[in-house]
Chain A
């Protein structure tokens, strides 16, 4: 309607080009979409382009061909017409070389839903983009006229537009019956700014505007409020005539004024506006698994005729749409098994999508995790990446999932998580226990890696490396290739990542065997102990197929194989062991079935299998090392030990999402899991008294861990989580998880043969209040637990002179629990084109009986439950400012304080993890084709803990660090390519890592020299 007004005004501004075009609300999947438009006053227009994008993808450009007269046509190819939808805008290349959006804009593109769902047909609608311009039927109010926004300022001055009704043959009548007042106010506003039509109305043509129609129940109130709102807006705009012209896309401010005006009543009318992702998702999940942008898009789906939860949910606020679309880090599925907007999910979470990962310059998962507030990633001397969350670091307490399948190894809790990100659609992170959905292991946090399965072919190759101090470049190359295709009911995907790196080689001045090596003449006293080695070869290959069985749901099979072979960064026990070799093979397989239920719920079942084999061979001493005099005390290859472990897990799970009522959503789950340790071999090439063995063998007294109760574990979990939207602004989540877990019963029998079932109940309560559209408040409580790993329970390596400092298992360990209290807020503000989001939360976590190795003797490090527990509290905050799709700045900071309550006051603080982290990044366009991304990561100084005397006297200070990365990244070239040039640690500010024994590796552990990489990505 408004566009019609504008259209009417267009002749007055004859010098400005305008485009008449109607955007279809919906299109068929896999059918090319034809877009027709009429160019008015196109004297200065050289060419027209349609720029379109799929969800979360960059814009692709197609030219609009002139058909005849002033009719232009473009076609979005069939392969890009995939659910949930596409977005596009029309841009003109002007004679003077400028490019000007004529219909919508990059920031606010028109949105076309793609899919099979038939929307409620609009009453009567003109065929899209009819050439009929002025004689458009009255029933087609969805024609927009856009003049270049750049002209808006001038137009403001030339306010001599005819009164709306005069030049408008059809507009007024179209809505006259429904919203007189609105029409007229609109007209007023159009007066002052004829070129900047309300893009909301035009973006989704009003007749079929999903938002409008979804609010049908509440439209009356909305219409009237809008009237009020528009009044004020019109006046405010008049007061500041200069501002619109200053904006690239002058339509922005009114949109938001508009949005906030109209939202409140609309929300009140529609009860459930808080679960957009979930609601939208339910339908489409069957056809298109996990796609965050999809959820965002689907949130906009027109309501089904039936007015169930979903229908009402789809009417959530327009700003939510904007956010979900632009700040695409907004959705995660890990809390409720349903995709939900991060800002409203009952957990403190973060989600990184592809474009964000690319903008970070991240190459691996660790690179991404390290910029999450509250999370720190470091490496230990063995080269393992270790994830600390909120000031505590324990491998077994951060649950890593790959497409929902657990990656943590049953034996030691470590996860082969540092995968290349090229294959990932997004990374979801929950700090805190997160959810009743997950049981043991989801303790300090949950990280879910979601692979990219959208249709198409994608490839990427990155090469570069680290300049070593000998002048050579240590090459690192990784390649990615993936493809997914849907044919009818059948969906296929396959992907492959290969990673190879030589790795940096940095000097280590001293190690644990410094004195011995010098005394034995293996090196001079002034020679360094050795160098780090960081070679790595990784394969990540996956594939899957799923088939839609019509009413019987969808059946899928996926399999994935991960294999890593690498060097130890230094070695074991702080001794340089360059011949150490670590390999890790993981096989994951899943059979899944899912089926939507008639009442908009969903039921899913999964049968999963995984096997992990690790083979870690460590060189414990230098070559030609002697443990004494005599032939059998000379070790030409150094003392060596090798640990080979194989674990298997079989999982069966069923879960169901049920919409009990319009505002009540229940998730029920049952999981049964059998874990087993099927191989454990520990061999050494030396005897306990330090003599050479003819061939490696198990030392005397080694316990066979594959026998006994600790080697098998049955986990049964029952979870129920209910989300109840009490008021439209208030959602309560109640979760309860019941876990029965099989643990060895060492107390009863004195041996490890007996086992007992231990039952734990873990509640979770969440309160999410949408105080206003801009502000969401959360109050959360959750309890989680984790059982000790078999390694913590039973691994006992006989102590010798050369493997001192090893953890010693304790069969009496109890599970540990954490109670977490969190208060969070999420604020979104828009000003002009700029959007600012601020998120902050405070937390308090009480760990009861934490399982912690504390070095008390230096020989063996006993594991036990710390009776008085550990307490952590802190704050985390992040802000993100988006000036446009390409111009983004973000910053986050976290501060935590962890205290071990078992030690005296003055020694309580746990400071081996940075207490404060600060990360920031800027992405900005450099011209039309290149973007610059700069990311700063910094962490506060770390110091040794003081829990035991040994910790107290083994003092170290790892200085505060800041690590800066920068990259140049192109916009898509020829629509299919993207190139980035990336520099890691630009200023070579050393990021020093964990040092378990600073008295041994005295110079701390070096890592992260400058490195540079060139990446080429291709997608089709």
Chain B
């Protein structure tokens, strides 16, 4: 009797480890992870200092994709933004410090832009727009300081928008120049609610993530601001970015490169590895 029980217990024990199950964290997020969505014209750094404290090619790609998410709408979108915290280096099962020059696969792109936020286009007032960028840059480190835990709130901007930032100035007054679609935005912002800019961003920001709640308020629910959630491709940021990449940077010749859209003055800059 005892021996039988003992045998059963031992058998159960040997079986136990086999019964353990864990999620496969490497399971790809898309059906065809190896499909090439486009080409990178240069190495793209994914460390937080590069995604949250400097211009970043993938951030700019996403912002551009957002800008074009509602192409064909009655009122054209003027600006696309994405927060640096949306670009991740952790990956699903391997951490990637950078993406190499050359083809970019759909699987990797979805791992970098992996939160699957929806993209919403909405009208913002000038004050909101300027406050948005002030908040974006208020935590940037001054030149000479170490870049420590850069804030994920830092915003990348779409083509046609430039921003000048002076980190020597106090927080709240750091934006020295903002041009949207080539048009200068008054700094400080005019307190005129009728001046509107149509901006595309992720639901994460619109719902107040990364400290933007106080600035954006209920713009996402206000019919007067005409919020439109992207429909195509499921509306998610990564899908929209992938489609835009496919159409815009389809070959090594037409490859994605970083543009100097945000111009930093007196700010700390991440040390880029020497080009290989």
Residues of chain A having any CB pair with chain B under 8 Å = 515-516, 518-519, 628, 799, 801, 829, 831, 834, 836, 838, 857-859, 877, 879, 881, 891, 893, 895, 897, 906-909, 911, 915-916, 918, 940-941, 943-946, 949, 952-955
For chain B residues 113-139, which have a beta carbon within 8 Å of chain A? 114-116
Question: Do B209 and A941 have beta carbons less than 8 Å apart?
Answer: no
Question: Do A909 and B22 have beta carbons less than 8 Å apart?
Answer: yes
Question: Which residue of the partner chain A has the closest CB to B48?
Answer: A515
| Separation of A954 and B89 alpha carbons in the complex (Å) | 11
B16 interface neighbour in A836, A916, A945, Cβ under 8 Å: A916
Question: Do B27 and A906 have beta carbons less than 8 Å apart?
Answer: yes
Smallest CB–CB gap between B206 and chain A, Å? Answer: 12
B5 interface neighbour in A838, A893, A941, A954, Cβ under 8 Å: A838
Take A799-B211, A829-B1, A953-B91 as given contacts and tell me if A941 and B145 are in contact as well, using a CB distance cutoff of 8 Å: no
Which of chain B's residues have a CB closer than 8 A to the CB of A858?
A: 85, 152
Smallest CB–CB gap between A526 and chain B, Å? Answer: 15
Which of chain B's residues have a CB closer than 8 A to the CB of A831?
A: 1-2
12 A-B pairs in the complex with CB atoms less than 8 angstroms apart = A516-B148, A519-B146, A801-B151, A857-B209, A859-B209, A897-B21, A916-B17, A940-B20, A949-B115, A949-B116, A952-B25, A955-B93
**B75-113: contact bitstring with A at CB < 8 Å (1 yes, 0 no)?**
000000000010010111100000000000000000000
Question: Do B9 and A895 have beta carbons less than 8 Å apart?
Answer: no
| Separation of A952 and B114 alpha carbons in the complex (Å) | 10
Question: Which residue of the partner chain A has the closest CB to B207?
Answer: A857
Take A516-B149, A518-B148, A857-B209 as given contacts and tell me if A906 and B23 are in contact as well, using a CB distance cutoff of 8 Å: yes
Question: Do B23 and A893 have beta carbons less than 8 Å apart?
Answer: no
Which of chain B's residues have a CB closer than 8 A to the CB of A952?
A: 25, 92, 114
Question: Which residue of the partner chain B has the closest CB to A895?
Answer: B19
Question: Do B12 and A877 have beta carbons less than 8 Å apart?
Answer: yes
Question: Do A915 and B12 have beta carbons less than 8 Å apart?
Answer: no
The main secondary structure of chain B at its interface with chain A is: loop
Question: Do B16 and A918 have beta carbons less than 8 Å apart?
Answer: yes
B13 within 8 A of A: yes
Question: Which residue of the partner chain A has the closest CB to B115?
Answer: A949
Smallest CB–CB gap between B211 and chain A, Å? Answer: 7
Which of chain A's residues have a CB closer than 8 A to the CB of B12?
A: 877, 893
Question: Do B148 and A519 have beta carbons less than 8 Å apart?
Answer: yes
Which of chain A's residues have a CB closer than 8 A to the CB of B209?
A: 857, 859
Smallest CB–CB gap between A916 and chain B, Å? Answer: 5
Which of chain A's residues have a CB closer than 8 A to the CB of B92?
A: 952-953
Smallest CB–CB gap between A248 and chain B, Å? Answer: 17
**Contact residue range for chain B?**
35 or more
Smallest CB–CB gap between B170 and chain A, Å? Answer: 9
Which of chain A's residues have a CB closer than 8 A to the CB of B148?
A: 515-516, 518-519
Question: Do A953 and B9 have beta carbons less than 8 Å apart?
Answer: no
Smallest CB–CB gap between A878 and chain B, Å? Answer: 9
Smallest CB–CB gap between A698 and chain B, Å? Answer: 18
**B236-264: contact bitstring with A at CB < 8 Å (1 yes, 0 no)?**
00000000000000000000000000000
Which of chain A's residues have a CB closer than 8 A to the CB of B116?
A: 949
Tally the A-B contacts, defined by beta carbons under 8 Å. Answer: 89
| Separation of A897 and B152 alpha carbons in the complex (Å) | 35
Which of chain A's residues have a CB closer than 8 A to the CB of B9?
A: 877, 879, 891, 893
Question: Do A836 and B21 have beta carbons less than 8 Å apart?
Answer: no
**B129-163: contact bitstring with A at CB < 8 Å (1 yes, 0 no)?**
00000000000000001101101100000000000
Residues of chain B having any CB pair with chain A under 8 Å = 1-2, 5, 9, 12-13, 16-17, 19-25, 27, 85, 88, 90-93, 114-116, 145-146, 148-149, 151-152, 171, 204, 209-211
Which of chain B's residues have a CB closer than 8 A to the CB of A915?
A: 19-21
Which of chain A's residues have a CB closer than 8 A to the CB of B151?
A: 801
| Separation of A895 and B17 alpha carbons in the complex (Å) | 10
Which of chain B's residues have a CB closer than 8 A to the CB of A893?
A: 9, 12-13, 16
Take A893-B16, A953-B90 as given contacts and tell me if A909 and B21 are in contact as well, using a CB distance cutoff of 8 Å: yes
Which of chain B's residues have a CB closer than 8 A to the CB of A515?
A: 146, 148-149
Question: Which residue of the partner chain B has the closest CB to A630?
Answer: B170
Smallest CB–CB gap between B173 and chain A, Å? Answer: 14
Question: Do A916 and B5 have beta carbons less than 8 Å apart?
Answer: no
Which of chain A's residues have a CB closer than 8 A to the CB of B1?
A: 829, 831, 836
| Separation of A858 and B149 alpha carbons in the complex (Å) | 14
Question: Do B27 and A953 have beta carbons less than 8 Å apart?
Answer: no
Which of chain B's residues have a CB closer than 8 A to the CB of A519?
A: 145-146, 148
Question: Do A943 and B22 have beta carbons less than 8 Å apart?
Answer: yes
Question: Which residue of the partner chain A has the closest CB to B15?
Answer: A895
| Separation of A745 and B16 alpha carbons in the complex (Å) | 46
Smallest CB–CB gap between A946 and chain B, Å? Answer: 5
Which of chain A's residues have a CB closer than 8 A to the CB of B27?
A: 906-907
Smallest CB–CB gap between B45 and chain A, Å? Answer: 18
| Separation of A518 and B147 alpha carbons in the complex (Å) | 11
| Separation of A938 and B93 alpha carbons in the complex (Å) | 27
| Separation of A949 and B1 alpha carbons in the complex (Å) | 51
Which of chain A's residues have a CB closer than 8 A to the CB of B88?
A: 953
| Separation of A907 and B148 alpha carbons in the complex (Å) | 32
**Among all A-B residue pairs, the 8 with the closest Cβ atoms:** A953-B90, A515-B148, A519-B148, A906-B27, A946-B23, A515-B149, A829-B1, A519-B146
Smallest CB–CB gap between A894 and chain B, Å? Answer: 9
Question: Do B90 and A955 have beta carbons less than 8 Å apart?
Answer: yes
B22 interface neighbour in A911, A918, A949, Cβ under 8 Å: A911
Which of chain B's residues have a CB closer than 8 A to the CB of A799?
A: 211
A955 interface neighbour in B25, B146, B204, Cβ under 8 Å: B25
| Separation of A881 and B171 alpha carbons in the complex (Å) | 71
Question: Which residue of the partner chain B has the closest CB to A957?
Answer: B22
Which of chain A's residues have a CB closer than 8 A to the CB of B17?
A: 916, 940
Smallest CB–CB gap between A901 and chain B, Å? Answer: 14
Which of chain B's residues have a CB closer than 8 A to the CB of A949?
A: 114-116
Question: Do B23 and A908 have beta carbons less than 8 Å apart?
Answer: yes
Smallest CB–CB gap between A772 and chain B, Å? Answer: 14
A879 interface neighbour in B5, B20, B146, B204, Cβ under 8 Å: B5
Question: Which residue of the partner chain B has the closest CB to A955?
Answer: B25
| Separation of A941 and B114 alpha carbons in the complex (Å) | 26
Smallest CB–CB gap between A947 and chain B, Å? Answer: 10
Smallest CB–CB gap between A529 and chain B, Å? Answer: 14
| Separation of A952 and B116 alpha carbons in the complex (Å) | 13
Question: Which residue of the partner chain A has the closest CB to B209?
Answer: A857
Question: Do A906 and B16 have beta carbons less than 8 Å apart?
Answer: no
Question: Do B20 and A946 have beta carbons less than 8 Å apart?
Answer: no
Take A518-B148, A879-B9 as given contacts and tell me if A906 and B114 are in contact as well, using a CB distance cutoff of 8 Å: no
Question: Which residue of the partner chain B has the closest CB to A908?
Answer: B23
Which of chain B's residues have a CB closer than 8 A to the CB of A838?
A: 5
Question: Do A953 and B114 have beta carbons less than 8 Å apart?
Answer: yes
| Separation of A857 and B204 alpha carbons in the complex (Å) | 8
Question: Do B2 and A918 have beta carbons less than 8 Å apart?
Answer: no
| Separation of A516 and B149 alpha carbons in the complex (Å) | 7
Which of chain A's residues have a CB closer than 8 A to the CB of B25?
A: 944, 946, 952, 955
Which of chain B's residues have a CB closer than 8 A to the CB of A906?
A: 23-24, 27
B210 interface neighbour in A859, A879, A907, A955, Cβ under 8 Å: A859
Which of chain B's residues have a CB closer than 8 A to the CB of A943?
A: 22-23
Which of chain B's residues have a CB closer than 8 A to the CB of A944?
A: 25
| Separation of A895 and B16 alpha carbons in the complex (Å) | 7
| Separation of A366 and B172 alpha carbons in the complex (Å) | 51
User: Which of B20, B21, B91, B209 counts the most chain A CB atoms within 10 A?
Assistant: B20
A881 interface neighbour in B2, B22, B23, B210, Cβ under 8 Å: B2
| Separation of A982 and B129 alpha carbons in the complex (Å) | 66
| Separation of A941 and B88 alpha carbons in the complex (Å) | 26
Question: Which residue of the partner chain B has the closest CB to A915?
Answer: B20
Question: Do B16 and A941 have beta carbons less than 8 Å apart?
Answer: no
Which of chain A's residues have a CB closer than 8 A to the CB of B204?
A: 857
Smallest CB–CB gap between A523 and chain B, Å? Answer: 13
Which of chain A's residues have a CB closer than 8 A to the CB of B23?
A: 906-909, 911, 943, 945-946
Question: Which residue of the partner chain B has the closest CB to A689?
Answer: B171
Smallest CB–CB gap between A864 and chain B, Å? Answer: 14
| Separation of A836 and B5 alpha carbons in the complex (Å) | 9
Which of chain A's residues have a CB closer than 8 A to the CB of B211?
A: 799, 859
| Separation of A413 and B152 alpha carbons in the complex (Å) | 33
